[in-house]
Structure 1
Amino acid sequence: MSQFTIHSIQSADAAVKPVLEGSLKKYGFVPNLHGGLAEAPTALKAYIELTSLFDQTSFSPTERQVILLVISVENHCTYCVAAHSMIAKQMAKADPAIVDALRNGKPLPDSELDALASFARAVVKNRGVVCGQTLDKFITAGYSRAQVLEVVLGVAFKTLSNYTNHIIDTPLDTAFQAEAWDAPAQCSSQKCA
């Protein structure tokens, strides 16, 4: 049982009501993640700002969703995997085969996107310590040094939401239920610190 409240526009601090109203306008509902982050207005504002900054990177909408899905799968975030699976398919118009491969940790049918996914996964798994060979493969696939740092931005952005969802036990929104995802069994046996 979570000790946190998923705030509505009405129950949120006055400082974030306009932010939640923006979420309602953008998505047609206030995502539970946003309502949970509203407990700390600066955290919600940071998340929204990081979302905007990540959307301004040089990556295409599909590439951005590849990055965010890989990070969420690697961090075992059931909420974000479901949400970004839906966003990838419906908003970014990503190939469902790519989304399914990402959700299952399989190689992608597109070699360039697979290099992107492999690099993002390595950044998360190795906490930013990425060997030269992995970096070289990413650059050889056609990505730039600037995009290396844009992946790091994606990791920072998604880590904020992944960790928040773990801590506050964010319930999955009805809008994302069709893409519900279960973390691998070995992840559910982790002990709380």
Structure 2
Amino acid sequence: MTDFAVHSIEDAGESKPLLEKSKKAYGFVPNLHAVMAESPALLEAYRTVAEIFDNKTNLSPTERQIIAMTNNRLNGCTYCMAAHTSIMQGLNIDEDVITSLREGTPIADPKLEALRVYAEKVNLSRGWPDESDVEALLAAGYTKQTVFDVIVGTAYKVLSNYTNHVAQTPLDKAFAKNQWSADAQPAN
């Protein structure tokens, strides 16, 4: 197995300014960012797409986390499942929503559930949802913009999920209490 470095700010080379921004934003450098620092292009792409997803879509924090967590679970990303669980807890997202996303079970709120299902369809179909999937999302009260904003969120998670798969990114202490395993989840 190839060993990938978890870079510090001091040894990050061209990625140093990006890791400094991460530390300022989070109070520490998440291991995901420290691993991504191997490729300044990857770290910049990830940070840029994350910022666009957070600030340029019309989705609420809960809705953005539904898209992120659905992709994290389907992609089997243990690091991102733990990290985003911690993020959702910090945002005071309802515990039943968090549990549903961690387990891949329906969310009680029908509109949020429609978003979860659509995000799942986009992921599982590799971007080929059926017209009926799009219509179900629109019927739930979302817009055509949301149809595409789900793709932005999916792209954001591909960058982090795939990085974590390849690098086997170690989980940060800050996220350890929310450790997750695909093997421990109930069958759908």
* TM-score, with length taken from structure 1: 0.92
**After the TM superposition, which residues 69-148 of structure 1 pair with which residues of structure 2 at under 5 Å, given as runs?**
69-90=69-90, 92-148=91-147
Residues 107, 114 of structure 1: 8 Å contact kept:
yes
Structure with greater helix percent: 2
Residues 72, 157 of structure 2: 8 Å contact kept:
yes
Aligned equivalents of 1:147, 1:125: Cα separation in 2 = 18
Partner of 1:58: 58
Residues 15, 39 of structure 2: 8 Å contact kept:
no
Residues 15, 38 of structure 2: 8 Å contact kept:
no
Report the Cα offset of residue 183 of structure 1. Answer: 1.4
Identity %: 45
Structure 2 residues without counterparts, runs of 5 or longer? none
Aligned equivalents of 1:111, 1:94: Cα separation in 2 = 16
Aligned equivalents of 2:88, 2:72: Cα separation in 1 = 13
The alignment partner of 1:16 has SS state of helix
Report the Cα offset of residue 3 of structure 1. Answer: 1.4
Structure 1 residues without counterparts, runs of 5 or longer? 187-193
Residue by residue over 1:69-104, the C-alpha shift from the partner in whole angstroms, topping out at 9 and shown as x without a partner, is: 0000010000001100110111x2210110111100
Aligned equivalents of 2:71, 2:138: Cα separation in 1 = 19
Q: How many residues are matched?
A: 184
* TM-score, with length taken from structure 2: 0.95
The RMSD of aligned alpha carbons is 1.3
Residue by residue over 1:89-123, the C-alpha shift from the partner in whole angstroms, topping out at 9 and shown as x without a partner, is: 11x22101101111001000111110000000110
Aligned equivalents of 1:179, 1:2: Cα separation in 2 = 27
Residues 32, 170 of structure 1: 8 Å contact kept:
yes
| AA aligned opposite 1:177 | A
| AA aligned opposite 2:3 | Q
Aligned equivalents of 2:62, 2:183: Cα separation in 1 = 24
